[in-house]
Amino acid sequence: MVDEKLLAKIHNLFKLAEGNTNENEAQNAMLKAQQLMAQNGIEQSEVHQILKPKEVISENASEFGRLSWWEKNLGSIITRNFRCEIYISKAKSGGSIVFLGLKDDVQLAKMVYNFSVVAIQNDTVNFIKKYKKYNVVYNVGIKNDFMRGWLQGLDSKYKEQVSKNGWGLILVKDPLVQAEFNKMHLCKGQSSSVSRGHDSNVYGRGFEQGKNFNSPVGALN
C-alpha cells in the first residue's frame, strides 16, 4: 500500500504549483511532484483517490467563436500531456474547445493552454514583423509554416520530457475519464485545410520557438 504521507506530500506539491504566481517555484513544485511519483511508481489517480473523491468535469478552454486550426492542434497537444480529452462544443456563435478530465487535471491543462495561446500568438506576430522587414513576398502560408513548426516544437519538448523522466504511466488517462468520454459518442470532426508556404527555414524557426516555450505551470521545464 502506498504511504499516505507521501501521497499527501505529492498532493501538496501539486497545489503549490497550481496556486503559485512565482514561475520558478511553480515549476519546481510540479517537477518535484512528478519525480516522486515516477520514483515510487505512483499514478496521479492514486493521489486523487486517497486524498479526495474523483470528479470528472468538462470545461471550456476557449470562448465561443471561429476556431483556428492551430487552436485545435494546440489543445490536442496539451490534453495528451495532462491526462484530458478534448472535443469541440458548437453553438450559433461558433465553436469552443472543451477539456474533459479529472478536475485538477482540467484546471491545470486550461492554465497551460491559455499561456500557450498567448505565447504562440506573440511569437508569430514578432516573427512576421521581422519576416516582412527582410522579405518582399509574404502570404498566410508563411505564417502557417511558422505556427506548424511552433506546435511541433512544443510537442517535441513534451515527448522528450516524458521519455527522459519515464512519465509514460503518469500520463495515462484515468478510466473514469475515458468512460465518460466514450459515453458522449462524439463524431470525429473534419480536418481543417491549412495553406502552407513550404518554407523549411520558417518552419524551423517556429519549431525552435515552440521547443523553447516555458510555461509557468505544468511539466515543461
**Burial of residue 191 (number of CB atoms within 10 Å: 0-12, 13-18, 19+):** exposed
- The count of domains in the chain is 1
Domain-located, residue 27? yes
221 confidence band (pLDDT: 50, 70, 90): very low
User: What is the reported pLDDT for 219?
Assistant: 46
Q: Output Rg (C-alpha) for the chain, integer angstroms.
A: 19
Q: Which amino acid is at 177?
A: V
Per the model's pLDDT, the better-predicted residue between 197 and 68 turns out to be 68
Q: Domain limits at 41?
A: 4-211
Domain-located, residue 218? no
- pTM exceeds 0.85 for this model: no
Domain-located, residue 95? yes
Percentage of residues of the chain with pLDDT beyond 70: 90
Domain-located, residue 25? yes
Answer yes or no: is pLDDT of 159 > 90.
yes
What is the edge-to-edge ordering of all strands in the sheet holding 85-91?
A: 56-60, 94-102, 85-91
Can you tell me the distance from the alpha carbon of 184 to that of 66, in angstroms, rounded to the nearest whole number? Answer: 23
Domain-located, residue 118? yes
Domain-located, residue 219? no
Cα angle 1-102-59, degrees, rounded to a multiple of 5: 170
Domain-located, residue 196? yes
